[in-house]
Amino acid sequence: MDPDVLNMFVIAGGTLAIPILAFVASFLLWPSALIRIYYWYWRRALGMQVRYANYDDYQFCYSYRGRPGYRPSILMLHGFSAHKDMWLSIVKFLPKNLHLVCVDMPGHEGTTRSALDDYSISGQAKRIHQFVECIKLNRRPFHLVGTSMGGNVAGVYAAQYPEDICSLTLICPAGLPSTTDSKFIKQLRELQESDSIDRIPLIPSTPEEMADMLKLCSYVRFKVPQQILQGLVDVRIPHNDFYRKLFLEIVDEKSRHSLHENMGKIKAPTQVIWGKQDQVLDVSGASVLASAIPDCHVYILENCGHSVVVERPRKTANLILEFLALLHSTDNNKKQA
């Protein structure tokens, strides 16, 4: 073979080998870095841009896509120990001309974390209102979406700042009393009785605990490689002390039933989406909301657990769009009448 041709193949092979080796090294040695790159790439692919907003000395980190238009903007509030990127699986199935905003909740990811901050549910709702005012999202009423802890905050927000929102979607929200104890609640009781409350199932410190948390939160059994489990743990461990503090704050008597205490004040049309096999927050909470909120639409998803956003993203996105279309149609009929 001609030496020049041979050199060309060697150079080409070496060029291809470098990124492959880099990927393998990242997967084996720095899985947490690979996870961050994954989210960065997914945001780019979906057209989500990251920005910061400041309220006095407090900083909010958020991602957004699109601009405010004739349809309501959508603000999404994530759950406990998650971050704004958890919504990417839903964003994938939403029209690009919708104005979407996903914010890191107080103390999470890029939003300010302060030991002096009020992390109760009402305190978090107040912070989210400051964020809304910062980016002037409430120039027109917007649609508010919240899941789990974020659902609790979203419900309280709707009750305390009714002029800001036109409609509400609650996905497996916390903050409700339940007639049936979920698997998670039973685990918490056992830990309290054994004085092992530090071992909270939603705050894993090892790959094995991470695998257990994923099983607890989802009905669908995802096969997650050990290295990815390790990466997920590595990303969370620096924040676990904060998560423990936050968890104790939101299960405290002041916040435990915040949504239940405020749901009588929710006047906006409300959509409730819940996984039938939710092991974290029992699905019976959906009927509690339906009986207390006048204009409430309930959807129970079969073969789905607590992580509705991850397990059924297309279905969830479609339900939100159908709900907004229904409200738009109803408004038009009222105007014509």
Q: What per-residue confidence (pLDDT) applies to 195?
A: 65
Q: Same domain for 10 and 69?
A: no
128-137 pLDDT, tens digit per residue, is 999 999 999 9
Which amino acid, residue 145? Answer: V
Residue 272 structural domain? 47-336
CB 280 within 8 A of CB 148: yes
Q: What is the pLDDT of residue 188?
A: 85
Query: Taking Cα atoms as reference points, which of 65, 74, 30 lies closest to residue 46?
Result: 65
Regarding whether 150 and 3 lie in a shared domain, the answer is no
The total number of structural domains that make up the chain: 2
Residue ranges of the chain whose pLDDT lies below 70: 1-31, 195-197, 331-337
55 and 19 part of one domain: no
Say if 321 falls within a structural domain: yes
Cβ atoms < 10 Å from Cβ of 267: 14
Whether 33 maps to a domain, the answer reads no
pLDDT at 227: 86
Residue 196 lies in a domain: yes
Domain co-membership, 301 together with 171: yes
Query: Residue 30, class by beta-carbon neighbours within 10 Å (0-12 exposed, 13-18 middle, 19+ buried)?
Result: middle
pLDDT, position 54: 97
pLDDT of residue 288: 95
> Do 17 and 88 sit in the same domain of this protein?
no
Residues known to be catalytic:
148, 278, 306
